[in-house]
Amino acid sequence: MNIIPFEKEFEQKNRPVITIGMFDGVHIGHQSLISDLKEKAKELNTIPIIITFDNHPQLALKPKNLDKISLLQTNEERFTKLHLQGINDIITIHFTKEFSQIKAEDFIDLLLKKYNPQYLLLGYDNHFGNKSFQDFDKLVIASKEKGLILKRSKSCVFYDNIEVSSTQIRKALAAGNIKLANAMLNEDYLISGQVEHGNKIGTKLGYPTANLKIDRHKLLPLFGVYITEVEFNEKTYQGIVSIGIRPTINKDIVNEEKTPRVEVNIFDFHEDVYGKKIKLRLKDFIREEIKFDDLDSLKAKINKDIEKAKLYFKTNE
């Protein structure tokens, strides 16, 4: 996989086919677009290239909302999934206010100068550039005159009568509907992070946990307990993960000081993972986060959560 910053040179012999977008989640709608791009590349005997951003446009356009922006993937997660879709060359642009002001036709000229593409495929709802052309068809004609075929994908992709989009996946996760989110993503929702030291409350309860340090813009689902698979050192384990502010333990902390935590209990696991990176694949939702009267009540509920998770894995073997 080649990650090439936009400002760097990229040499290749054949005129490539290109698509542009944020691709947050790389969901089944994105995957359909990428499949069409690869098919066109094969037809034209060239390579497919994706141009994307290494920061979300809203981070540049609305910096006051910095802490409110949540993404389905980190850059590493997104680039890896794009590569798994068969894309070897990913060009990254750092989105700025200045970049947002570039007109569509000027950006096309820049693409032709840098990469000399013969085909540019956009999503059906892609808002391409700061357009001076109000009519997309006029932009298509102007591009053709410069030797570039510009097209939009035919239509959106639906799942269970829902128009698939990153926004719809965020809504599903916010509701704890992990199965719907996973179906639209075409994979189990991924949370990855480095394990850091916690306050060892889990160990005191008899259920030791690994506490993950999560990217500040990573979207966390509805606070609660989930069934998860854990990937570590190229091996997969089973477990449950608690996501939330731990209201039973942090009951004396004011709301403004409560930081969401991701704590995973890995079944039959005894390795030292502090300072190491692990990946969680959320399989199913068990329950919302609950405030218990005491730690004994919490311990009893955790035991039931584990029983449900183990039954899930046994049933789905």
**Is the domain of 139 the same as that of 232?**
no
Residue 34 lies in a domain: yes
Q: What pLDDT score does 58 carry?
A: 81
Tens digit of pLDDT for each residue in 105-152? Answer: 899 999 999 999 999 999 877 766 655 445 788 889 999 999 999 998
pLDDT over 90, % of the chain: 63
Q: Based on the fold, state whether residues 133 and 19 are members of the same structural domain.
A: yes
Is there a single domain that holds both residue 216 and residue 74?
no
CA dihedral sign of residues 60, 61, 65, 68: negative
In a domain, 182, yes or no: no
My answer on whether 6 and 147 are in the same domain is yes
Residue 155 has pLDDT above 60, yes or no: yes
Per the structure, the count of domains in the chain is 2
Domain assignment of residue 180, yes or no? no
Is position 35 within any domain? yes
Domain CATH code at residue 132:
3.40.50.620
Asked whether residue 101 falls in the same domain as residue 11, the answer is yes
Same domain, 120 and 194: no
The Cα 31–Cα 37 span in angstroms is: 10
- Examine residue 101 and state whether it is found in any structural domain, yes or no: yes
DSSP type of residue 68: G
113 occurs within a structural domain: yes
Among 154, 173, 203, residue at a domain's last position: 154
The model's pTM is 0.89
Domain containing 53: what range? Answer: 2-154
What's the token pair of residue 199? 């306050």
Q: Which of 77, 82, 74, 23 is nearest to 48 (CA)?
A: 82
Q: Same domain for 54 and 108?
A: yes
What's the CATH code of the domain at 256?
Answer: 2.40.30.30
The C-alpha atoms of residue 29 and residue 163 are separated, in whole angstroms, by 9
234 and 125 both lie in a single domain:
no
**Same domain assignment for residues 20 and 93:** yes
The string of pLDDT tens digits covering residues 48-93 is 999 999 988 887 787 776 677 889 999 999 999 999 999 999 999 9
Asked if residue 176 belongs to a domain, the reply is no
Looking at the fold, whether 296 and 202 belong to one and the same domain comes out as yes
Please check whether residues 99 and 242 belong to one and the same domain: no
**Residue pair 309/225 in contact by the 8 Å Cβ criterion:** no
**269 and 141 part of one domain:** no
Q: Within a domain: residue 224? A: yes
